[in-house]
Amino acid sequence: MPGKSWENILNNKMDKEKEKKHWLAFNVFEGIGPLRFRLLLKYFGTAEKAYQAKISELIKIGLSPKIVFKFDRFRNNFNIDSYFLRVCNLGVSVLTSENKIYPKLLKEIQDYPSILYVKTKNLSQIFSQNAVAVVGTRQATVYGQKTTAMIVKSLISHQYVIVSGLARGIDKVAHETAIQNHGLTIGVLGSGLDIIYPPEHKELMEKIIERDGAVISEFPLGTKPLRGNFPARNRIISGLSLGVVVAEAAQRSGSMISASWAAEQGREVFAIPGPITSPMSKGTAELIKKGAKLVTGIEDILEELKIRE
């Protein structure tokens, strides 16, 4: 009987791995996003059954013929096992939205990712702590860098994980300050985890992982950092977090998109005021006019987060 038990355990593990491979295959295919994938999953019961469904059945449930025929060509040429091996060889963990350690806050948003690719040494814990996003311009001023470091240092002292986009400028300061103060930080990429952007942040990414933080992406391996990927990336930054602190931003910027996502997702939006003569403060000034919480110190953030928690 013990042998039978181990056999059952092994078979169950193999079945789960096989199912995960099919989730990955849907993730790689361009044309079926998170919402559409969840409809397929609900109808067929498993990703494997959906992946192997007949063309006529896929059309019958509402997928357009154009997408279905494109999908059929894809699955006839895509090597599931080879792709899964690439993921494993890179040391990347794959979290499906059904996994118990998938970030709970992120799953509250309407279009949460079906899959997260994660590089971390701390997979069981990294998403279990409260997080705050700190974002801002790539053209950070000295003022912006100083205020970002001050706020991040204080958030770390109150045990918050810092989420940002691993970009130049404010994002870099946020991640580095978290590391320097022995805190945890999560970097969210707008590319596959095998393509670091900007490339000079490879060392920063390695430090984040080494210090028990994480670097994550919803994009499959090989995805380049195209402009259109970043609004989607920004919804994950805000989705992981109780609130978003915009440290410094121009009026038209990715940080403003992150703030917009945060408001739409029911998250707190914070903005640090800056010199009225600085173009990099116009975005935060606009956010404050629209109702974002003005931040002059950590207390302004903590009083709102206590309510959200």
Supply the pLDDT for residue 1. Answer: 45
Handedness of CA 153, 157, 158, 164 (dihedral sign): positive
Q: Are 290 and 269 in contact (CB under 8 A)?
A: no
In tens, the pLDDT along 55-80 reads 999 999 999 999 999 999 999 999 99
For residue 94 the two structure tokens come to: 């794959």
In the predicted model, is pLDDT for residue 179 greater than 50?
Answer: yes
Supply the pLDDT for residue 15. Answer: 75
In tens, the pLDDT along 196-206 reads 999 999 999 99
Supply the pLDDT for residue 120. Answer: 98
Residue 195 sits at φ, ψ, to 5 deg, of: -125, 105
In tens, the pLDDT along 18-33 reads 999 999 999 999 999 9
In tens, the pLDDT along 116-160 reads 999 999 999 999 999 999 999 999 999 999 999 999 999 999 999
Domain positions in the chain are 2-89, 106-308
Q: Are 249 and 257 in contact (CB under 8 A)?
A: no
Compute the distance between CA of residue 127 and CA of residue 9 in angstroms, rounded to an integer.
27
In the predicted model, is pLDDT for residue 172 greater than 80?
Answer: yes
In tens, the pLDDT along 254-300 reads 788 888 998 999 999 999 999 988 999 999 999 999 999 999 999 99
CB-count exposure of residue 227 (10 Å: 0-12, 13-18, 19+): exposed
Bridge partners, residue 162, by sequence: 132, 185
In tens, the pLDDT along 229-260 reads 999 999 999 999 999 999 999 877 778 888 89
For residue 52 the two structure tokens come to: 């192997």
Half-sphere exposure in the Cβ direction for 66 (13 Å, CA) = 2
- Please report which confidence band the pLDDT of residue 11 belongs to, taking 50, 70 and 90 as the band edges: low
> What is the third-level CATH fold of 106-308?
Rossmann fold (3.40.50)
Handedness of CA 277, 283, 288, 290 (dihedral sign): positive
